Structure 1
Amino acid sequence: MNAEGRKSNLKCGFSELYSWQRQRKTKKEFCLHDGPPYANGDPHVGHALNKILKDITNRFHMMRGYKVHYVPGWDCHGLPVEMKALSELQVQDLSAMEIRQKARKFAERAIEKQKSAFIRWGIMADWANCYYTFDGKYEAKQLGIFQKMYEKDYIYQDYKPVFWSPSANTALAEGELEYNEQHISRSVYIKFPLLKSPPKLASVMDGLSKVSLLVWTTQPWTVPANQAVCYIPNSEYSVVKCTNTGECYILVADRVESLAAILDMQVEVISTFKGIDLEGGSCAHPTIPGRDSPLLPADHVTMAKGTGLVHTAPAHGMEDYSVASHHQLPMDCLVDEGGFFTEAAGSELQNKAVLEEGNEAVIQMLQAAKSLLKEERYVHSYPYDWRTKKPVIIRASKQWFVNTANIKATTQEVLKKVKFVPASAEKRMLEMLDRRTFWCISRQRCWGVPIPVFYHKTTGESLINSKTIGNVIRIVEQQGSDAWWTLPVEQLLPREAVAKVGNHNALDYVKGQDILDIWFDSGTSWAHVLEDADQQADLYLEGKDQLGGWFQSSVLTSVATRKKAPYKTLMIHGFTLGEKGEKMSKSIGNVVDPDVVINGGQDHSKEPPYGADVLRWWVAESNVFTEVLIGPAVLNAARDDINKLRNTLRFLLGNVAGFSPETDSVPASEMYVIDQYMLHLLQDYSNKVTEAYKEYDYSRVIRLLQAFHTRDLSNFYFSIIKDRLYCEEEKSLKRRSCQTVLAEVLDAVVRSVAPILPHLAEEVFQHFPYKMGTGIAA
């Protein structure tokens, strides 16, 4: 792109263009709701892919006569921003307000960096009026949605296991996890000695010495919290005897041979029976004398791995918790917020990290109690905190939840009416939603929107109702959420709300310390941004990770409060990778910086300046529904393709000089046959391009464009008409006939490429020798 092209963003005034089209007197409106990127870092090629796709879409609809509604936004709260802000400081012991101030300043700096990059990429928007999740009015709207959901009994507090990040000291939602496929656990095979024979197996067990249930787990640290052993009622189990030691073991019948090989045992089967026959039995805890664990039926036990018998620690497993709730088992948690064993775990374990020395200590205890049969490394998929990149644990704690089980059926019905692009994404999103029975919305941080709840100083009972939430909403709307930390409790908690629960003094209460999950932050954006668009967008367009993230939190909050989706169409794109399909990484040296793509690196011979339109062409020509590759070869090819197109446009511009469509056009009936044929090809091209745009298939637009301007124009039509253009009289019918076609072609080609290459299109518009018509190719 030449200097003129590089400066064209300033000339074009794309923010003025956005404001201009908003003033159009038309009832046709197209609303694309911008999913907010995190305000926690520099702009990257993932941003470029997403924002440029949105801009191509908006520009197409604008050129079709629609009034485009597009408000860019930023996700400003939560751990990603808080961690980045604190990493810049040496001081550790900061107050909540100090952390909030530092985090806000960090977010504001990141927003300015990202915003200037988005403008440089040619993104059309009113950049003076964006939305930010830390804005007081936005926060008040969000709390309004929280209030409605609370009033409809979708929000509740409970003590249950949640994904917990010891590295960040907070609960996480499933959308905040990433899975490490190469995680190594220390798996163990453990003996749980049979204490009480199941009544139906009393005759089988008579005369057998040392009978134990054989249990396998990949998380030895959870064994101290064991409260039961679960079996599958309809599966077959066997009692086997080890011929070497004389000890007997109960395990699932299908795995007797494979487990005997793993444990290096010679065994004989004494008896085989149904799992239901284990009912009424109990076994001893392998490390805690005097504690017995009942044998209980459960559906979650799997046959794929293990022994068909599962150790059950209600504080450390979702299914374990369900079993414990049904059978009224204790749910004590022996692990603190930092991932260390508490005093309740005993002196041998206290203060030891459960994923490190705590795990080792439990294995040593099993060995000392002669309960350990085998330990081995086990490589498997394990959840990690997607921000700290460290393993999480499942840990019971008191949290606030959205009961998605009660919203799920309606949400699934609503999603069936939403158009998915590509269509295959619908199944993935419905499957993700189906697995989600609750949504943990409380986070143990201070940079965010507070959960408006108060706790009694003595009893710990929570106080939350419509009056308390409504009062906080009014204050937040005027002063922002800082007020929760700066105002005294008596200003936040209305007197009538305290009187309603039988107390007389707000000072009996303290403010809750949890903030709302940032997925709730961004998932309620529709309530703030779409007020002028009937609170339903025509399109949400984001990466595939949002099928379990923003797409889902948006639809759940919308369905819970008004029984409809906030979007009519979802478009889902893939992630960006290096040009060989590898992940981008600084260590490999294949990270592509969009700023370097546009302006060039320090050494222009190695990293030339390509200009913004090359970046946009790369987005448009890629198959964005899979992973999107970028690198020097891809960018060089894009630059060459644009240069070829520029040459075509230069030829067209040069040969309509001195031609006025209003006075010099030749009617189609008087044209040469070849010119009439060219108009036919042009109409076919225009129709196909328009359909491709409508289907969000921008790579097809590029393919159609390249075929048309190289094959139909340069190689075919231009070579035929050159003699007429250069040799005939200036105003002769022969010359005017093909000039009429060239003017039509120029108009259609520039309009068809303008949503993708607005800088080039603007450059062409500035050199038009006459005024153009309106509308993209129809």
Structure 2
Amino acid sequence: MTDTSEKIDYSKTLNLPQTEFPMRAGLPKKEPEIVARWQEMDLYRLLREDAAGREKFVLHDGPPYANGNIHIGHALNKVLKDIITRSFQMRGYDSNYVPGWDCHGLPIEWKIEEQYRAKGKNKDEVPVNEFRQECREFASHWIKVQSEEFLRLGIEGDFKNPYTTMNFHAEARIAGELLKFAMSGQLYRGSKPVMWSVVERTALAEAEVEYQDVESDMIWVKFPVVGAEGIGGAEGEAAISDMLKANVVIWTTTPWTIPGNRAVAYSPRISYGLFEVTAAENDFGPQAGEKLIFADALAEESFAKAKLEYKRLRDVSAEMLSNLECAHPLKGLGGGYDFTVPLLAGDHVTDDAGTGFVHTAPGHGREDFDAWMDAARDLAARGIDPAIPFTVDDAGYFTKDAPGFGPDREGGAARVIDDKGKKGDANKAVIEALIARNMLFARGRLKHSYPHSWRSKKPVIFRNTPQWFVYMDKDLGGYGLPVEGRASDRTPGDVSPAHAEASSPSERTAVSANQPDTLRSRALKAIDETRFVPSAGQARLRAMIADRPDWVLSRQRAWGVPICVFADEDGNVLQDEAVNQRILDAFEAEGADAWFAEGARERFLGERAGEPWQQVMDILDVWFDSGSTHTFTLEDRPDMKWPADVYLEGSDQHRGWFHSSLLESCATRGRAPYDTVITHGFTMAEDGRKMSKSLGNQTFPQDIMNQSGADILRLWVATTDYWEDQRLGKAIIQTNVDAYRKLRNTIRWMLGTLAHDTGEDVPLAEMPELERLMLHRLAELDELVRKGYDNFDFKRIIRSLLDFMVVELSAFYFDVRKDALYCDAPSSTRRKASLQVVRTLFDCVVTWLAPMLPFTMEEAWLERHPEARSVHLEQFPAVPQEWRDAALAEKWRKIRQVRRVVTGALEIERKEKTIGSSLEAAPVVYVNDEELQKAIADRDMAEICITSGIDIRHEAPPAGAFALDEVPGVGVVFARATGEKCARSWRYTDDVGSDPEFPDVSARDAAALHELQALGRL
């Protein structure tokens, strides 16, 4: 035959990768195009149609506030939710995601007020519904903005029909839930100390408070003992004499609460003593001869603070303390404080700091209030008035109940905090009054953590005010529980797929006849039956519920759902179903604005308008709104279900949305509205510090998307330990860019290779071992991926897949098989099997990664399947269990150990430029390990090691051979390949030129060329 080799460009005869899938992703430009395509094709509708009839999986969205652009916390939260819903959708469920927004409350109202203040406008002069309309418009604007930002992140959900708490139907349902509390007797008006924001003029819930370090005044105050009757025993008379000359000393960091003092608390578990001052070096306070009572453990520190020398006179027992009565340190000031101050035993008293005595102002602290109320009956029997004074008003000024500091004070009432959140003159006034009356033991400054409003960032106070509460410990008598047996309607073990792995909820049982059926007991039981990810969240929420006070629902604001009840002057709530129905009908048609409209009282009361019922004008705690979202989203939408499979939010929501949703649902339905609670941590700056504007260390999701792409941000979310606080910054973003590039290049190579795929299949039994090994690995990964998605452990999935794609595919399998894929003849079983495996690898990897990297996997899928609608309409491929072959995997683990030593030896030669390619080598490999010898027997190790030849010797490596400590018994001595270089495959072989028609190629390549020639492709 004629020599045609000179006419052939051998590169054109190779099956080299061919793809339009670009190496450079260009995500900032490509991703918006994909979003537009999804919206144009209405992907959300297609997903619902495709999933019709499947078992529902519901992740209920915790509503963000609609009051600004999204931040990195929003991005983390929404991406996690999107990964979950997409992963269940692609595993056979109808996984519908309905985004929602919290629209009421201070975050939005505060913004409108700021606008008013900037314009010199007075909110109180604006009709309330006009103000509410401005709040509604503000929220609507930001819902639109945030929706667009979430869509840009790749979040798939019903953004055309989200839920909002300001929707008329939602407002009606929230009101309906409140009325259930009213009708069941769980709602009551009471007077208790609540956290109060002077700046915002409203009560706050614990979830609306954050703690900041502040420096405060601290004082030690003397309470003169004026009564000691009842002290018995042989030393009774002497003890009485000693006590009547003594002062009980308290310590506090809130001097302004002293006018509200009504008792002093002590602990029976603490050792106390009577001490006498022997010398004094102070400008004010105790002098020599004064007697003082302290906890023994704190006496030395306290006396040192006051610059006093002292001696201990005697023990003071708990029995003695229980019989003491003191005078108020401000007695006589302004004609007030002439009452007796009793000593009360309290479990909250410790000797860790202070004096061992706790100043008790029941109007300014929960523990103080509880201790006072527990003793109220006994106090009344002793002739002590148990009434709690209102010493501070809503603006932070002292009232008439604080004689000498209120309106009767020269110059006007002292103030605790002003409108800007700055410290007023109250502390100074109280301290000066105590010094003037010789009742100050010592004073100082203390840096400590203090509650602040998380909106205004200003300090709050504890203040006794009339508010509306929900009982935590009132027996509900089975209200809201299923009728049959008062037990759950879900059978034991009937759990969602989200429950499958991490925990098994305990069997739900009926409320015990021997145990009160309270909101607290129901909530604690529900917590025990809920799966928590991570599990520590269960103990955290349980501790909060076990220790929380009654739920304060009322807020003194304008924007929100009102506490739409009528009450008499004693706080008794009108329970009238007809009135309630009129309210709910109006809210459904007009929204909650109907409550504030002119003539609302008469409209709703109807024929009862002539009765002395007062219309309550407070609004609901916004947490009640969000805690009720399960009713108008999960229950009312036919595309959802109740309860939700998953609630997912930041760990702060143990005291927020998880908490309020649990209480609301347990009170009205007897169980939690969720089966699983997942929490994520907070995103810190790269150096571990909190992100803040002042530090200039914030990372904005918009910047990441504009510079690198949403999939880079999503990759960071997937690879991070989101259960804990995580870090983010430029270096971390770059790390994810690098990882993404490797992943993309692997997918790109598969796409290029599959351009030559004819779709032919090779039976498993006829496949080469290397292909069967890859299928075995896919079977292992399939289990890992599915369990990872069930356990919400995305980091394990993504890191396993990244390692698989980079280490096992790119650096091993693809590297080994490139020669066969590029050079083998079309009829080669090896090549067909390899293409089949690459095809399978692509389908598995791309669908597995689609929930995490939806843009890139969509792009890759459509490049491979241009006729397809979307990768997100696909299911994870079914991976046969018959692919598993543990014995084969173990054999190849040993083969790869030998390969590692060979490639390590060749890398040295490459670095030293002895060779340019591993195909220039034909190393001598010494293997004296019997197990490794068996593994590599009858293997083409030259193909596996990508060399042109290899000489395997079953003997100990000689001195100087290259070796790795982790692979004992293997050594490599470099040797050059012999023979001639094939012009097509570049391998060095002895049969180059054996085919006269193709004299510069090997016999294998010549045979391939003949096949191509016969097919007309040459």
> Which bin holds the TM-score, normalised by the shorter protein?
over 0.9
Pick the aligned partner of 2:583 from 455, 472, 475: 472
Work out whether residues 55 and 124 of structure 1, in 8 Å CA contact, stay in contact via their aligned partners in 2.
yes
Aligned to 2:876: 776
Aligned residue identity for 2:38: C
Aligned to 2:416: 354
Distance in 1 of aligned mates of 2:66 and 2:585? 26
Aligned to 2:592: 481
Aligned to 2:392: 335
Deviations 1:211-236 (A, max 9, x none): 21111111111111111222223433
Distance in 2 of aligned mates of 1:736 and 1:81? 63
Distance in 2 of aligned mates of 1:452 and 1:262? 54
CA drift at 1:373: 1.6
Between stretches 61-70 and 442-451, larger displacement belongs to: 61-70
The structure-2 alpha-carbon separation of the partners of 1:587 and 1:206, relative to structure 1 and needing over 3 Å to count, comes to closer
The structure-2 alpha-carbon separation of the partners of 1:278 and 1:347, relative to structure 1 and needing over 3 Å to count, comes to closer
Pick the aligned partner of 1:121 from 148, 153, 163: 153
Aligned to 2:462: 394
Work out whether residues 62 and 649 of structure 2, in 8 Å CA contact, stay in contact via their aligned partners in 1.
yes
Work out whether residues 33 and 537 of structure 1, in 8 Å CA contact, stay in contact via their aligned partners in 2.
yes
Distance in 2 of aligned mates of 1:344 and 1:737? 90
Are 1:555 and 2:612 counterparts? no
Aligned to 2:325: 282
Deviations 1:349-406 (A, max 9, x none): 4432124201110000001111112110012221111111111111111101111233
Are 1:229 and 2:334 counterparts? no
Aligned residue identity for 1:434: A
CA drift at 1:520: 0.2
Pick the aligned partner of 2:57 from 6, 17, 30: 30
Correspondence 1:52-201 to 2 at 5 A: 52-89=79-116, 90=119, 91-93=121-123, 94-180=126-212, 182-200=213-231, 201=236
Aligned to 1:659: 757
Work out whether residues 617 and 757 of structure 1, in 8 Å CA contact, stay in contact via their aligned partners in 2.
yes
Distance in 2 of aligned mates of 1:280 and 1:15? 81
Secondary structure of 2:592's partner?
Answer: coil
Secondary structure of 1:373's partner?
Answer: strand
Aligned to 2:47: 21
Work out whether residues 14 and 124 of structure 1, in 8 Å CA contact, stay in contact via their aligned partners in 2.
no
Work out whether residues 147 and 466 of structure 1, in 8 Å CA contact, stay in contact via their aligned partners in 2.
no
CA drift at 1:299: 2.4
Aligned residue identity for 1:565: A
Distance in 2 of aligned mates of 1:748 and 1:680? 13
Between stretches 582-591 and 54-63, larger displacement belongs to: 582-591
Distance in 2 of aligned mates of 1:719 and 1:281? 88
Larger Rg: 2
Distance in 1 of aligned mates of 2:301 and 2:659? 42
Between stretches 9-18 and 105-114, larger displacement belongs to: 9-18
Aligned to 1:249: 292
Distance in 1 of aligned mates of 2:370 and 2:785? 55
Distance in 1 of aligned mates of 2:365 and 2:824? 85
CA drift at 1:583: 1.1
Distance in 1 of aligned mates of 2:602 and 2:642? 33
Distance in 1 of aligned mates of 2:614 and 2:669? 33
Aligned to 1:7: 33
Aligned residue identity for 1:385: S
Distance in 2 of aligned mates of 1:694 and 1:463? 47
CA drift at 1:491: 4.1
Pick the aligned partner of 1:684 from 780, 805, 812: 780
Aligned to 2:623: 519
Deviations 1:589-635 (A, max 9, x none): 22111111111xxxxxxxxx211111111111111011121111111
Distance in 2 of aligned mates of 1:442 and 1:347? 31
Distance in 2 of aligned mates of 1:195 and 1:222? 22
Correspondence 1:314-713 to 2 at 5 A: 314-325=362-373, 326-327=375-376, 328=380, 329-350=386-407, 351-355=413-417, 356-405=424-473, 406-454=518-566, 459=569, 463-467=573-577, 468-496=579-607, 498=608, 505=610, 509-531=613-635, 532=638, 533-599=640-706, 609-661=707-759, 664-713=760-809
Deviations 1:408-451 (A, max 9, x none): 11211111111111111111111111121211110000100000
Deviations 1:265-292 (A, max 9, x none): 2222222031222233211111122333
Secondary structure of 2:452's partner?
Answer: strand
Aligned to 1:714: 810
CA drift at 1:510: 4.6
Unaligned runs of 5+ in 1: 499-503, 600-608
Work out whether residues 234 and 276 of structure 1, in 8 Å CA contact, stay in contact via their aligned partners in 2.
no
Distance in 2 of aligned mates of 1:454 and 1:769? 64
Work out whether residues 227 and 244 of structure 2, in 8 Å CA contact, stay in contact via their aligned partners in 1.
no
Distance in 1 of aligned mates of 2:243 and 2:460? 42
Distance in 2 of aligned mates of 1:123 and 1:234? 57
Distance in 2 of aligned mates of 1:480 and 1:305? 52
Distance in 1 of aligned mates of 2:269 and 2:815? 79
Distance in 2 of aligned mates of 1:295 and 1:384? 31
CA drift at 1:98: 2.8
Work out whether residues 204 and 271 of structure 1, in 8 Å CA contact, stay in contact via their aligned partners in 2.
no
Aligned residue identity for 1:254: A
CA drift at 1:248: 0.7
CA drift at 1:455: 5.1
Deviations 1:146-184 (A, max 9, x none): 12222222221101111111111111111111112x222
Secondary structure of 2:840's partner?
Answer: helix
Secondary structure of 1:691's partner?
Answer: helix
Secondary structure of 1:470's partner?
Answer: helix
Distance in 1 of aligned mates of 2:739 and 2:388? 64
Distance in 2 of aligned mates of 1:385 and 1:207? 47
Secondary structure of 1:343's partner?
Answer: coil
Work out whether residues 452 and 464 of structure 1, in 8 Å CA contact, stay in contact via their aligned partners in 2.
no
TM-score calculated relative to the size of structure 1: 0.94
Aligned to 2:904: none
Between stretches 204-213 and 440-449, larger displacement belongs to: 204-213
Work out whether residues 489 and 509 of structure 1, in 8 Å CA contact, stay in contact via their aligned partners in 2.
no
CA drift at 1:207: 6.4
Aligned to 1:501: none
Aligned to 1:755: 851
Distance in 1 of aligned mates of 2:624 and 2:647? 17
The structure-2 alpha-carbon separation of the partners of 1:495 and 1:649, relative to structure 1 and needing over 3 Å to count, comes to same
Work out whether residues 627 and 660 of structure 2, in 8 Å CA contact, stay in contact via their aligned partners in 1.
yes
Secondary structure of 1:189's partner?
Answer: strand
The structure-2 alpha-carbon separation of the partners of 1:98 and 1:346, relative to structure 1 and needing over 3 Å to count, comes to farther
Aligned residue identity for 1:695: N
Distance in 2 of aligned mates of 1:439 and 1:44? 30
